[in-house]
Structure 1
Amino acid sequence: MEVNIRNLSKAFGNLKVLTGVNLTLRSGNIYCLMGPSGSGKTTFFRILLGLENADSGHTEGITGIKTAAVFQENCLCEAFTPIDNLTMVTAGASKETRKLAKQALLKFLPEESLSRPVSTLSGGMKRRVAIARALWVPSEMIIMDEPFTGLDEDTKRMVIRRILECTKDKLVIISTHQEEDAGLLNGILIKL
């Protein structure tokens, strides 16, 4: 799969956020988007996800692609358990699906946390649920907007190992402020 972005531009009033962005993104790669706050990383993701329209330019190859996302906000159902947050994005919550969701989450969280409402979890644990959910959803492309926010160094490295295990044939785009993250992800660095 290949996604082509051609001359993509976006402004909010007089503030130009993206100007003439040209990229070719291929599945099987992790792309690490870097730039200072306000450089357009989140806006770029919102355009790819169809949540925002570009002022000019276009994308090719993205229509119909199954996409999962981790937003800067976790976007979890706080009253639900981590298992419920995973199974709600798949085709049902059968016993077998719940068992598989639990197995997936055990790679990210201690077992005792899986039956508690997400609202009772720490910020870093919530972040891991959001990442696990994005990896759980059947998809061809995964977009992660600053997924490592709130994670300590050891936890971040564990999460990166899980991302690498789960995304071998997918197109993955991750925004980060740390060049080290791009190195840990074996990612292709893109500066905005």
Structure 2
Amino acid sequence: MELKVNHLSKSFGALHVLEQVTLSLRSGRIYCLMGPSGSGKTTFFRILLGLEQADSGSLAGMEGIRTSAVFQENRLCESFTPVDNIAMVIPGRSSRSRIQAREELLRLLPEESLSRPVSTLSGGMKRRVAIVRALSVPSDMILMDEPFTGLDEHTKMNVIRYIRDKTNDKLVIISTHQEEDVALLNGTLVTL
């Protein structure tokens, strides 16, 4: 799949957030979206997700594309366990879904945390649940808005390995403020 972004612009009143953004993005790659706070990274994601309308420009290649996302806020079901949060997005919703959810979560979380309500987890643990959930949804494109927030360096490296392992054939766009993330993800830098 190839996503073509053509002269995309978005303003909020007098504030111009995106101006004439033109990109060509392909499946099988990780793109690292960088720019200062307020440069439009989250707005760009919201437009790709259909949550916001661009003022002008176009997107080509979005037809029939299944998209999943990690938002800046985790958007988890706080009273559910991590396993329940993941199992609900796995097609089929059978006992196999719960087993698969548990196996995926164990790659990033300690076993004792899997049966607790998400509300009792640390911010970094919640972040990992949100990442596993986004990568468990059947999708062609994955958007991750600052996914490494709240993660220590060791945990971040584990999460990066997990992301790289789970996204080989997908189009992945990750917003980050850390230039080293581009190299760690073997990504392509895109600036806004």
Q: TM-score range by the shorter chain?
A: over 0.9
RMSD of aligned residue pairs (Cα, Å): 0.7
Residue in 1 that maps onto 2:52? 52
The offset of 1:91, in angstroms, is: 3.1
Structure 1 position 107 matched with structure 2 position 116: no
SS at match of 2:157: helix
| Consecutive unaligned residues in structure 2, runs of 5 or more | none
The equivalent of 2:173 in structure 1 is 173
| More displaced stretch, 85-94 vs 112-121 | 85-94
**Segments ≥4 residues shifted beyond 2 Å:** 90-93
Residues 44-82 of structure 1: per-residue CA shift (max 9 Å, x gap): 000000000000000000122011100000000000000
User: Which position in structure 2 is the counterpart of 1:133?
Assistant: 133
Q: Which runs of structure 2 are paired with 1:27-46 in the superposition (5 Å)?
A: 27-46=27-46
SS at match of 1:135: helix
Q: How far has the Cα of 1:32 moved from its partner?
A: 0.2
The residue matched to 2:183 in structure 1 has which SS? helix
Residue 92 (structure 1) shift: 4.2
Tell me the secondary structure at the aligned position of residue 173 of structure 2.
strand
Structure 1 CA distance for aligned equivalents of residues 59 and 97 of structure 2:
35
Identical positions, percent: 71
What is the CA-CA distance between 1:87 and the residue it aligns to? 1.2
How many residue pairs match? The answer is 192
TM-score normalised by length of structure 1 = 0.99
Query: In structure 1, what residue type is equivalent to 2:105?
Result: L
Q: Deviations over 1:64-119 (max 9, x none)?
A: 20111000000000000001001112334311110011001000101110000000
Classify the secondary structure of the residue corresponding to 1:142: strand
Letter of the structure 1 residue corresponding to residue 58 of structure 2: H
Q: Secondary structure at the match of 1:63?
A: coil
Deviation at 1:17, TM superposition (A): 0.2
Q: Does 1:4 align with 2:4?
A: yes
Give the match's secondary structure for 2:65.
coil
Cα distance in 1 between the residues matched to 2:158 and 2:182: 15
Indicate the SS of the match to 1:125.
helix
Task: Indicate the residue corresponding to 1:124 in structure 2.
Answer: 124
With normalisation by structure 2, the TM-score equals: 0.99
